[in-house]
Structure 1
Amino acid sequence: MQTSPADITVRPATPADLDAMVSVHTEARTAYYRAGGLDDAEICTPAEHADRIAGWARAIRSTDRTTLCAVREADPDASAVLGILAIGTTGELHQIHVRPDNWGRGIGSLLHDAYVRTLRDASIPYGTLSAWERNPRALAFYTRHGWRPDGERTPGPGGADYLRLRLELGPAS
């Protein structure tokens, strides 16, 4: 089904969304890690899948995170989850993922806008995130939205680092 931003609602995640959220996360990370040169043995392990289930379940229940889902308005149940977002209380963007078959349709930007609103509502002046350096699609997305590297790097899979990025919010317009 072709989707456009006008068809999408961003809403808080619920426990009923868990399976769909894990699916979105798994599809997106598999696509970008494969594109970055990792093979399935490195990215598709049962232990990592179990960790994603447990991690999203904790995030949905947590008072320290905001979790959001982008869903089709015409079908706003868990089966229609096209994108997901997790935000920490200090402004860290922990996760933003969109189903790969919906990349380039503005869903990531809708989630990013919700992220910025959440920070502004909490009077947090900047955001941080880590992006894998072999994920040029994500790095280009964040650059378009005003993110800049802050010089911090942490080791990531395949001998490639995660780059920490920072978004200065400035005054609301």
Structure 2
Amino acid sequence: MGTPVMIRQATPVDVEGIVEVHTQARTAYYIAGGISPDDLADPAQTQQRHDGWARAIHSPGRVVKCATQDGMVVGILSMGRPNSPTIDARTVGQLYQIHVIPSHWGNGIGARLHTSFVDYLTDSALPTGLLEVWQRNTRAQSFYSKLGWKPDGNRRPGPDGIDCVFLRLAATAAR
């Protein structure tokens, strides 16, 4: 499969590769969840992802990491303070996104990125992780369940009228 995968802090130079990974991964799980490829092909959405990732890399409240192999971004991780002001940022860290390019699924890259998130919780003395996942993204739900994440009963409206569900992880249980 090539040289070993390295995980490192993302830089502005990585934005194009990050957007490519994000675009390919989201396309795969949304299509698997029943959304038409035509609904995902809007160039404005790609620009929004580009702008969002560029902001995230520079944001003091976010940590963005890349998994790279042979000079190419093959996975991404974004984490930081909870998005909701009602969640105690002194006790909860949010995993915003893990994406792996579909051609590299099943090679342990997502698990390594997840370990970086657990390390972030530990290093920040945060006992709980929080994330949200689209209800139809059964692949992601299975991945997170195997790593100890549990639904917390909360949800929010998501794409195609299908909710996103919230999952929590006890950081000590993840070690």
The answer to whether the superposition gives a TM-score over 0.5 is yes
Identity among equivalent pairs (%): 48
**Which amino acid in structure 1 is aligned with residue 119 of structure 2?**
R
Q: Is the 8 A contact 2:118 2:174 kept in 1?
A: no
2: CA distance between counterparts of 1:111 and 1:98?
9
- Does residue 82 (structure 1) correspond to residue 74 (structure 2)? The answer is yes
Partner of 1:54 in structure 2?
51
**Which amino acid in structure 1 is aligned with residue 52 of structure 2?**
G
SS at match of 1:41: helix
Stretches of structure 1 lacking an aligned partner (at least 5 in a row): none
Change (3 A) 1:142 1:172: closer
- Does residue 29 (structure 1) correspond to residue 10 (structure 2)? The answer is no
SS at match of 1:38: coil
- 2:151 aligned to which of 134, 149, 155: 149
Residues 88-117 of structure 1: CA distance to partner in whole angstroms, max 9, x if unpaired? Answer: 134111111000000011000000000100
2: CA distance between counterparts of 1:171 and 1:141?
16
Q: CA RMSD in A?
A: 1.5
SS at match of 1:7: coil
Stretches of structure 2 lacking an aligned partner (at least 5 in a row): 82-88
Change (3 A) 1:28 1:171: closer
Tell me whether 109-118 or 87-96 shows the greater mean CA deviation. 87-96
Partner of 2:108 in structure 1?
106
Q: How many residues align?
A: 165
TM-score, length-scaled by structure 2: 0.90
Taking the TM superposition and a 5 Å limit, the aligned residue runs for 1:7-26 are 7-26=4-23
TM-score, length-scaled by structure 1: 0.91
